[in-house]
Amino acid sequence: MIPWPHDPANRMDPWGCKVADTPIVLQSDCVVCNKLKKDTSIEDVRLAEVVALRAARVVSRSVRGESKSVPDALTLRHQILDGGVPWVGFQHLLGWCWSNGIAVMHVAEFPKATKKPHGFAAIVDGHPVTVLCWKEHRSSWLLFHLAHELGHIALGHVVDGRMLVDETIELDSQEEDEAAANAYVKVAQIPPSLHETCSQSEFCVN
């Protein structure tokens, strides 16, 4: 359970439900870039967005010292393999994130009927944070989506005070930032000698 944060500006008003016919106010205090399907509105993901952002603020406070920047994909791969592991797996990437001051959260419990995105990437008070939102236990799925969100941060799609919302991460996306984040995953996850022969769908589960 995420503790209710101190909120002097009433950006998320928990008392709105006390008064009949008064809606709860849901406002984000950062710039949000939404990568949504055509049939999804910003309001459809607003609650998930606010909950994930508040969770990110809470967990960012647990990061001690300064966070390191997310490197390019090949450097990330080499840093993980230099730790003595034979491949880049989800646990390896997760451990690398926390050891470098990059917080990772799994927030899957939301009110009913809330549309949950696949994930979020944000920089909160100088700390990179990624949030995965689906109840998914396959390590291949988690690895792909975590690396994809890290790609957004490494490639400069997210800056301090900004959050990027990925409703659905599609392997064949032609959108520039999404395609670049997918390419980041491929370079980070598989050996360079296989880049030409291995398709995106062969090394990840969406």
Per residue in 127-186, pLDDT (tens digit) is: 898 988 888 888 888 999 999 999 999 999 988 877 787 777 778 788 898 899 999 999
Domain boundaries, the chain: 31-202
Cβ atoms 182, 35 nearer than 8 A: no
3-class DSSP assignment, residue 17: helix
Residue 182 is classified by DSSP as H
| 89 vs 14, more confident | 89
- Which pTM was predicted? 0.75
Question: Which residues in 78-110 are b (16+ Cβ under 10 Å) and which e?
Answer: eebeeeeeeebbbebbbebbeebbbbbbbbeee
Query: Which residue bears the tokens 């990772």?
Result: 104
pLDDT exceeds 80 at position 40: no
